[in-house]
Structure 1
Amino acid sequence: MSPETPTSASAGMTREKLYERVWATPINHLAADLGVNHHLLARVCEALNVPRPPAGYWQKKAVGREEPRPELPAASPGDQVRWERNQPLAAPRPKRVYQRAERKTADRPHRPTRHPMLIGVEESFRKSRSDEKNEFLRPYKYLLPDIVASADHLVDALDLANEIYSDLDLKGLRVMFAPADQEMRRIHVDEQEVPRKDRKYGRYQTGSIWSPRRPTITHVSSIPVGLVLTEMTERVTMRYLDGAYVPEDSKLARSAKPWQLTHSWTREQDLPCGRFRFVAYSPLANIDWSVSWQDTQAADLKSLVPSIVARIQSSEAELQALILAEEKAAAQRRKEWAEAQERYRRQEDRRSVERALADSKEQLAEIMEKWAAATVVERFFQEAERLLEQVDDERRAHIRARLVLARAMLGEQDPLGFLAEWLAPEERYQSKYSQP
């Protein structure tokens, strides 16, 4: 057994049960009982925010000098509350590192701290499936913040996300990945700055855009809110020169010679433009709610961060109303589904009763045909036996031998046996409902 694979004993363990067992048995022994590595069990405790006994606890307990165990902290919205078998663990709650305040000097520029969700992610974003200059990054890693950007503007995107995430955290709205044990979806976000009926993104105008495996969310009270930051695209005329498409207003296109333009042509393409759109949405199924903000000539997105945070904070009542409406609609759908299933089961039951009746009648008709045939055969042999008494002895022996062979060939004809094999309709199928 792999040390990373929990046994059935550990499948479906709640954080309350794990808390009791961790404080009742040393973690090495408990890990052995559960069939897992003790390092994995320690990570499970960290992911579920379950406190563990400190070093020396069991030695002190052996002599009756252990300290009282701490209370199990209440789970916050979005925390993983159950350890399921073969399910990924949620990332532990990030801990901010506070640096000692230093005196500002002219030669020490201010460097803003990164939000815990954004520390070290730039390198992961740049490890991309595509390095096309006119396309968004498509990182190999999928557990990343929900940020879509091109290589040229990735730093700008991370700085903007840092502003939004940090302001949300300051208001008590922790930004995190959606928990692995909860079903949450990521909505489609239109990347076009100006919505159009057609789409011409990518080299072949059918390019795909990366999206994370799990949404980035925050919680308003206990209600999840998804967060997406995407760089937008603008429609640009591209000219084919020297084996590649370049913007029509680029220096290379403007300086092209007349002979180069002879074998050149243009097309339109949606290119990342360095301006951003931020979308807050509901990641819950069947809850259609989203609000978006984007860079405009009147105001850039960074200046809208306070209003973004305030709008998300004030969305609790609106989202709660939508959730209650969806719960009622879901209950009605479940009721209608149950009624439809009940109607189907009754129809199937009625069809089964009718089929049993038809099969029983058909079998009885076959028995009657066999009965009639058997009666004819038996009458034939009886008549032959009667007539046999009237022939002379020499001929009688020969005909009797023929009759014996004929009976052996046809077999025993037992009409009552046919009737014994017949099944009545109720014996074939018993209705589950009282028939009118």
Structure 2
Amino acid sequence: MSQKVSRETLYDEVWADPVTEVAKRYGLSDVGLAKLCRTMGIPLPARGYWAKVRAGAKPQRTPLSTHGRYRQAASLTRLDPEAVKEKDEVRRRVRETRQVIEVPAGPIDRHPLVVAAGKRLAKGDVKLEKGVVSAPAEVLHVEVSRGSLDRALDLFNALILEFAKRGSAVEVDPEKKRTVLTIKGTRVELSLTERVRRKEHVDTPEETKAKERYWKLSHYARGEYPGTPRYDYLATGILTITAGRWPARSWNDTERTPLERRFPEVVSGLILLATEIREREEHQAREEERRRLAKERYARIMEQRKRERGLFEALETEATKWERATRLRAYVDAVEHAATLKGELTDELVDWIGWARAKADWLDPMIPVFDLILDAPEPEKPAYWW
């Protein structure tokens, strides 16, 4: 969960430990943290500062400016120290194995997924779309020209075999039209594409003649118009391996270095990317759990308030009824007393007094009384009135 980190706190951290160490705590690059410090007006140790510290010296800190124009705080996510250690360990292992990774040279058996992709994409019913062939819902996610297909499949084959040795697997997800590499339970989307150049289509002499013939025909003799594409797409042979969505990484052929020679970099990059994706997913899961608990707590409190309000309103209602019943009894007693003094306590008035006291008892919430008229069910209304 992100938290506000003040200028003073960040200043103390970057002068207590190297920027590279502090950056790891917040999941930032050292360049990113340095840029943030500049925007907040936080001075950084000069070159050679930490060498002096290791030598036992106590060099002076550059004081933090108190100028009010700088940002006073930044929203940062402090990573779990164990996650930082795990990431460092992954980087260490990747560095150790990077030098021994290479694309297999010469003929080699292809993985079944690669064989299936080769057969499917070589078929004539797979149409060229913007100069490339692709069928991600059926086979490996490859988008290349037919001329680059074999090379692309060789690269994919090398990736699949290399990660198979590491206990990881590649699979095709037909429903989502994705190719997925699973590294220690973390799914990383993979694709291999070719860069194509687009240019305005210029009609060939044959196409020009076909259009001229079309317009010379009578209206009734014309068939379908011999249309031509707006653009032509030219293969460049430059391939790119793309992994993940957010975060994502990509590697491509350069002028001096083809992907085959960047293979160790690709493999190590995929391992590190899987670690980043796993950290992000775990962070999102924690945030989702935090939101769920907060939502449940809110609902629980609101339900408690609603129940408490209902009980209080019921209390007020009963108190009001009791007060009304008490007032009625007092009034009936007063009527009876006055009639007695005047000698006017007739049988009719005695009946009324009994009726009134019964109604007061019916209204009193502390006396369980059933009124034959007021508590009886409402009679059914006749369908028609005459």
TM-score (ref. length: structure 1): 0.41
Higher-helix-fraction structure: 2
TM-score (ref. length: structure 2): 0.46
